[in-house]
Structure 1
Amino acid sequence: MSASTQPVFGVGDASFQAAGGVEGIQRLVDDFYRIMEESSEAATIRGMHPQDLAPARDKLTRFLCGWLGGPKLYAEKYGSIVIPQFHARWPIGAADSEAWLLCMERAIARQPYSADFAHYLLKQLRVPAERIVQVCQHAQRQPGD
């Protein structure tokens, strides 16, 4: 594929298509949660989830579909969401964010993504992961601290 015909990730549904559509995103999410369950580094973030991961898998799959430029499946089923504020109820710190990103990096590596898209996706996921930490830290501060 020449540079002129290569998709521009983040424009239209190029990222959604590069991720393999709904089916590809579902595979990514399944691998992500499998890695989270198996990884000692992710024990804390796994503990923030209910025992049954089916709802979390569904929500993350639906969210990523829309976030990557595909159909807004999360909003269709669950309504709107502001990711950092949604996560503010948990004490998510930098180490938790890094553990989440490590699981996602490993899951991305298992996908048949191009190296360019894999790099792009992980870089893009780092933005909300870091923002969640900031919001959670702010939410835990008490007035007068």
Structure 2
Amino acid sequence: MTTPENPQSVYEAVGGEETFARIVRGFYAQVPEDDILGPMYPQDDWEGAEQRLKWFLAQYWGGPQTFNERRGAPMLRRRHIEFPVNREAALRWLELMRNSLDQIDEETIPPTYRHAIWEHMERAAAMLINQPD
């Protein structure tokens, strides 16, 4: 979301690594006890899952290319195909992400950037649905 008037990336504009770490940390604080999403995650890799999501989001929004360097191309559908993601799971993922985003003030993530981040999350959640209702 850089423009000639504002060459800064979204990653830089919202505070870089710390902000994306907060989004992901807030999300994963909810997942272990969640009845829909919790069982989808490997119980012995919470820290790894959190790290990978942080790398992915940071890279997508203009931060370091850590995800590609350590994991290769994101290929989200392919990486998630083994998990039964139906509409209910996608909506729950969005609910937990919304809860996490709502914990971060507008000074850190101004409305324009928050809207762009949220639209991306909605598209990603919809794209990952691989099971019928």
TM range, normalised to the smaller chain? 0.7 to 0.9
Name the CA distance, whole Å, in 1 between partners of 2:42 and 2:82.
Answer: 14
Q: CA deviation at 1:49?
A: 0.3
Greater than 6 Å deviation, 4+ residue runs: none
Uncovered stretches (5+) of structure 2, i.e. residues with no partner:
none
Q: Larger radius of gyration, structure 1 or 2? A: 1
Q: CA RMSD in A?
A: 2.0
Q: Give, in angstroms, the shift of residue 118 of structure 1.
A: 1.7
Q: How far is 1:122 from its partner?
A: 1.0
Count residues with an aligned counterpart.
125
Tell whether 2:57 aligns with 1:61: no
Q: Which has the higher contact order (CA 8 A, sep 6+)?
A: 2
Work out the CA distance in 2 between the residues paired with 1:70 and 1:87: 23
* TM-score, normalization by structure 1: 0.77
Q: Percent identity?
A: 24
Instruction: Using structure 2 for the length normalisation, give the TM-score.
Output: 0.83
- Report the equivalent of 2:9: 14
Q: Which runs of 5+ in 1 are unaligned?
A: 1-6, 139-145
2:72 corresponds to? 79
Deviation at 1:13, TM superposition (A): 5.2
Give, in whole Å, the separation in 2 of the partners of 1:63 and 1:103.
17
